[in-house]
């Protein structure tokens, strides 16, 4: 599939065929592409926790949902995904890298990072998983874990305190379902979001 077509076809998929497993080789290709993402100082401060068995996935959903909560069609659709990839960032990998001799920030001060690149870079790696999934004929979704549930997820899967749960990618074969009402919103074009030379200057005025 051509790259432009992959980008245009990528969608956030919320309903999956529970009876179609994703081949391990496909999951591995997603991860192999993920680590091609850029990272500041080549710090590569990311890890990916892959959940593929019924027990593993159920452990995740039990950790992130309230027992006895009302049935949610959105959640039920995502729960059918046969693969979940927890995308974890590692701040210390960046602080240590930039304290190295060729960088020299030996104070390891987080204030030097007004933007948390460990989270940004992990997000870019996550996008490569989404794009690879599309190229492989899969559906995928990036979603977050409620803040109050992070501790439970950490405990369930032995995630160390040094890692931050940036988000989760679900993978599987998409099944038809209702379109998200968010799609009624106008997709901003490249022309609309571009500012040329100075904020607020459109391309025609540049």
In a domain, 200, yes or no: no
What is the β-pairing status of strands 139-143 and 83-90?
Answer: unpaired
In a domain, 103, yes or no: yes
Confidence at residue 206, expressed as pLDDT on a 0 to 100 scale = 65
pLDDT above 90 (res 174): yes
The 10s digit of each residue's pLDDT in 67-82 is 877 778 888 899 999 9
In a domain, 39, yes or no: yes
Q: Which domain holds residue 13?
A: 3-179
171 neighbors 80 (Cβ within 8 angstroms): no
Domain count, the chain: 1
Confidence at residue 204, expressed as pLDDT on a 0 to 100 scale = 79
pLDDT above 80 (res 48): yes
Confidence at residue 6, expressed as pLDDT on a 0 to 100 scale = 93
Confidence at residue 160, expressed as pLDDT on a 0 to 100 scale = 98
In a domain, 186, yes or no: no
In a domain, 128, yes or no: yes
pTM listed for this prediction? 0.93
In a domain, 45, yes or no: yes
In a domain, 203, yes or no: no
Query: CATH number, domain at 161?
Result: 3.40.109.10
């Amino acid at each position: 599939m051509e790259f432009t077509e992959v980008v245009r076809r990528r969608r956030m998929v919320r309903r999956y065929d529970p009876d179609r497993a994703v081949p391990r080789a496909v999951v591995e290709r997603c991860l192999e592409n993920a680590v091609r993402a850029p990272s500041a100082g080549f710090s590569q401060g990311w890890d990916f926790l892959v959940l593929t068995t019924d027990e593993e996935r159920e452990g995740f959903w039990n950790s992130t949902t309230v027992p006895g909560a009302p049935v949610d069609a959105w959640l039920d659709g995502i729960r059918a995904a046969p693969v979940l990839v927890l995308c974890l960032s590692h701040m210390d990998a960046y602080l240590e890298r930039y304290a190295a001799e060729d960088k020299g920030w030996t104070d390891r001060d987080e204030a030097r990072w007004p933007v948390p690149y460990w989270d940004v870079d992990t997000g870019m790696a996550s996008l490569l998983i989404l794009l690879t999934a599309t190229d492989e004929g899969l559906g995928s979704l990036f979603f977050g874990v409620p803040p109050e549930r992070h501790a439970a997820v950490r405990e369930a899967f032995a995630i160390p305190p040094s890692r931050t749960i940036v988000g989760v990618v679900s993978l599987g074969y998409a099944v038809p379902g209702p379109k998200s009402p968010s799609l009624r919103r106008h997709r901003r074009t490249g022309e609309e979001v571009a500012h040329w030379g100075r904020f607020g200057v459109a391309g025609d005025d540049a």
